[in-house]
């Protein structure tokens, strides 16, 4: 491909971040969360990079889990939302996959399996997130039902925090969940990246780091680098044209930017069809050949503009880092009113990907 845009993935950075989390976690085991194609980093590449470090992997789609098994991944794999129908429940047994049970329907699907190949089940409890899971008052009955199924082996009780990354914290949910967890006698899995870094009492037996693996912060008041993480994803593209503006000249659709002075701008081969946020504000940070600058005007489908007025050396062929080690993805996300999670997972397949090992 000749279009000058690329997504670079640093597998050493992912390994570094996993070890950083391991040093901060009290959990006996860590299951690396690699859902959504490992947050855009490549599910197979990421799993292979962590194969000698992670105790297991957690994801959503059974197709990805099967790909991992076929790629030689032997660690436990947990489907965070469990099976979506009876056929998936059967496939979980075939491929030695564990996963959540958050409804009676899933229990019924799992019950059709064989006692010779029991599925390891994580009982999902709704402690206040109110998405998936049995209510706390249903926990004991749900666990008893699971234990009565020959095709099922309950191993873990899990919940998910709604505000581990915010000042509100997790105390309320943890206080609700803890008695049910203790009564179950199962391994406890509750802590995501934010809880692993900020709420040690919740670490339990199995931690499930996600966003922090990829070098981004789960918190709104710090970047991943400020926490000690290394960004694993770099999105960059080259300047393909240069324009000279006079005062009152407009840039891009909708005349969202009007020059107040003479300016020099570069047109970059990246747009919202590549996954860069269309709603990014004027001045969203970029780095041009390593020098700080910002966007100008509205992002279009295939291009965006950056300010070169203070960068006389920059021109056609100059590389523009849109996020990565020089441009924290958290800052780009804030300028677009979103989260780094969304930016990572939204990079489109048409962007060439390079994994560095």
Binding residues: 131, 301
Cβ atoms of 56 and 76 within 8 Å: the answer is yes
304-332 b/e with 16+ CB inside 10 Å = b?
bbbbbbebeebeeebbbbbbbbbbbbbeb
Q: Is 276 an active-site residue?
A: no
Contact 58, 208 (CB under 8 A): yes
Half-sphere exposure at residue 93, Cβ-oriented, CA atoms within 13 angstroms? 19
Pairing of strands 152-158, 187-189: parallel
Residues at the annotated binding site for substrate?
131, 301
Give the distance, in angstroms, between the CA of residue 119 and the centroid of all CA atoms in the same chain. Answer: 26
Residue for token pair 């070169």: 308
Interatomic CA distance for residues 212 and 209, integer angstroms: 6
> Quick check: 232 and 328 in contact, CB under 8 A?
no
Residue 33: exposure state from Cβ atoms within 10 A (0-12, 13-18, ≥19)? buried
* Structure-token pair, residue 343: 């930016």
- Catalytic residue from among 35, 39, 124, 341: 35
DSSP secondary structure letter of residue 26: -
Task: Say whether 35 is catalytic.
Answer: yes
Conformation bin of residue 214: beta by default, left when phi > 0, alpha when psi is -120 to 50 = alpha
Just list the catalytic residues.
35, 253
């Amino acid at each position: 491909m000749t279009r000058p845009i690329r997504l670079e993935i640093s597998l050493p950075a992912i390994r570094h971040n996993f070890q950083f989390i391991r040093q901060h976690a009290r959990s006996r085991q860590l299951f690396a969360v690699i859902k959504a194609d490992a947050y855009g980093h490549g599910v197979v590449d990421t799993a292979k990079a962590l194969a000698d470090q992670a105790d297991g992997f957690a994801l959503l789609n059974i197709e990805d889990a099967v790909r991992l098994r076929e790629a030689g991944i032997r660690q436990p794999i947990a489907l965070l939302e469990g099976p979506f129908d009876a056929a998936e429940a059967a496939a979980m047994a075939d491929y030695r996959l564990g996963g959540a049970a958050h409804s009676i329907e899933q229990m019924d699907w799992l019950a059709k399996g064989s006692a010779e190949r029991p599925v390891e089940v994580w009982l999902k409890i709704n402690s206040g997130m109110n998405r998936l899971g049995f209510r706390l008052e249903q926990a004991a009955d749900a666990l008893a039902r699971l234990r009565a199924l020959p095709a099922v082996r309950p191993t873990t009780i899990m919940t998910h925090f709604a505000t581990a990354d915010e000042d509100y914290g997790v105390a309320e949910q943890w206080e609700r969940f803890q008695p049910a967890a203790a009564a179950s006698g199962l391994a406890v899995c509750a802590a995501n990246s934010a809880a692993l870094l900020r709420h040690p009492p919740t670490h339990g037996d199995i931690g499930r780091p996600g966003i922090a693996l990829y070098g981004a912060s789960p918190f709104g008041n710090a970047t991943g680098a400020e926490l000690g993480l290394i960004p694993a994803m770099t999105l960059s593209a080259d300047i393909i044209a240069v324009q000279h503006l006079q005062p009152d000249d407009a840039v891009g659709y909708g005349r969202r930017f009007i020059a107040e002075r003479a300016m020099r701008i570069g047109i970059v081969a990246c747009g919202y069809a590549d996954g860069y946020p269309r709603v990014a504000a004027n001045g969203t940070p970029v780095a041009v050949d390593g020098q700080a600058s910002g966007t100008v005007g509205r992002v279009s489908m295939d291009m965006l503009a950056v300010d070169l007025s203070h960068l006389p050396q920059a021109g056609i062929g100059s590389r523009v880092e849109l996020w990565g080690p020089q441009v924290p993805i958290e800052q780009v996300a804030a300028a677009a009113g979103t989260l780094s999670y969304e930016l990572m997972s939204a990079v489109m397949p048409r962007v060439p990907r390079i994994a560095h090992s």
